[in-house]
């Protein structure tokens, strides 16, 4: 602690203030401890400086991830590490870990998670979204009904161009729960525009409990649905999860009444439910 002792208290405080004015507030926070460590470990001047810079950088990167996560509007942090693959044998873990390497994002490809409720579609979408935040990508999470409401309101107040931009601009757009409610014609149209503008330019992750054959009804127009699916599926990975609901995992064992629709549909390889 010799260095600190040489400096007067007032000088040291002034020095910390200077670090803060240089936006090196983390460095100011860890300086005392790092000085002590450097003296104890007999670090060279360069190693000491490198240590301080690393601490500041780590802090900034963590903060940037936090900010990107907040802006993404993702409702929770989910990770692949916390996903129990043994519970969902229809899922190929290797394929999911490959997606987590984010090549699909660099190549502007899409990912669709299809399957009945509770099988982990949203969990996996969020896990990929979080990885994307960590890797520096801008992510936006929405549900189809949330997006429909926003686009509907935007049309009413004439801000639809900026609303469209909201969904076109991020590196990764996650649309959760495609298919719970049918959407109005103008919303379906905006949806097509978003998909068309992102085509080969930015990735989309979609989760849905509907088969592709239901999209016509969901978007109120089979031709439009065809055009949307054509673009979405051209460069895409479709992951169909056909298994038990994780939400109901304990109930089925005890035989308690189930409160949620259990998976009754069967998903074929092409992603169709039968
Ligand atoms: P879906 O979107 O398919 O309806 P969710 O992803 O919302 O299902 O999953 C429901 C809940 O169960 C979430 O809290 C999720 O984190 C958890 N979950 C689902 N599958 C798994 C799994 N295999 N391992 C760990 N947690 C899971
Ligand atoms: Mg879900």
**Looking at the DSSP assignment, which residues form a beta bridge with residue 205?**
111, 174
Query: Biggest alpha carbon distance in the chain?
Result: 78
Mean pLDDT of the residues in the chain: 89
User: Would the CB of 206 count as within 6 Å of ligand 1?
Assistant: no
Res. 182 pLDDT band, cuts 50 70 90: confident
For the chain, give every domain's residue range.
2-70, 73-249
Q: What is the pLDDT of residues 88-131, one digit of tens each?
A: 999 999 999 999 999 999 999 999 999 999 999 999 999 999 99
Superfamily of segment(s) 73-249: P-loop containing nucleotide triphosphate hydrolases (3.40.50.300)
pLDDT of the residue at 4: 53
Question: 33-37: long-range contacts at Cβ-Cβ below 8 A with a sequence spacing of 24 or more?
Answer: 35/1, 35/3, 35/4, 36/1
Ligand 2 geometric centre to CA of 148 (Å): 17
Of the candidates 122, 144, 127, 143, the one whose C-alpha atom is nearest the C-alpha of residue 247 is 122
Q: What are the tokens at 134?
A: 């960590």
Element (H, E) at 177: strand 172-178
Ligand 2 geometric centre to CA of 62 (Å): 27
Answer whether residue 167 shows pLDDT above 90. yes
User: Would the CB of 113 count as within 6 Å of ligand 1?
Assistant: no
The CA distance from 182 to 162, in Å, is 24
């Amino acid at each position: 602690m010799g260095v600190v002792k040489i400096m007067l208290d007032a000088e040291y405080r002034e020095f910390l203030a200077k670090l803060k004015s240089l936006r090196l507030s983390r460095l100011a926070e860890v300086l005392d401890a790092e000085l002590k460590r450097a003296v104890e470990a007999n670090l060279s001047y360069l190693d000491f400086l490198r240590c301080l810079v690393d601490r500041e950088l780590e802090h900034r990167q963590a903060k940037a991830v936090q900010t990107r996560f907040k802006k993404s509007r993702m409702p929770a942090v989910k990770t692949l590490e916390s996903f129990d693959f043994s519970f969902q044998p229809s899922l190929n873990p290797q394929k999911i870990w490959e997606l987590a390497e984010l090549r699909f994002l660099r190549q502007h490809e899409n990912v669709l998670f299809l399957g009945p409720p509770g099988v982990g579609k949203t969990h996996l979408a969020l896990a990929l979204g979080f990885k994307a935040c960590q890797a520096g990508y801008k992510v936006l999470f929405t549900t189809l009904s949330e997006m429909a409401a926003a686009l509907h309101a935007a049309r009413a107040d004439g801000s639809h161009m900026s609303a469209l931009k909201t969904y076109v601009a991020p590196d990764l757009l996650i649309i959760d729960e495609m298919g719970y409610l049918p959407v109005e014609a103008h919303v379906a149209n905006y949806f097509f525009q978003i998909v068309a503008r992102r085509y080969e330019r930015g990735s989309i992750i979609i989760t849905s409990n509907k088969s592709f054959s239901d999209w016509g009804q969901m978007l109120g127009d089979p031709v439009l649905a065809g055009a949307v699916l054509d673009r979405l599926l051209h460069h895409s990975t479709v992951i169909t999860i056909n298994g038990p609901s994780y939400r109901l995992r304990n109930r089925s064992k005890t035989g308690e009444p189930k409160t949620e629709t259990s998976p009754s549909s069967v998903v074929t390889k092409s992603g169709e439910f039968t």
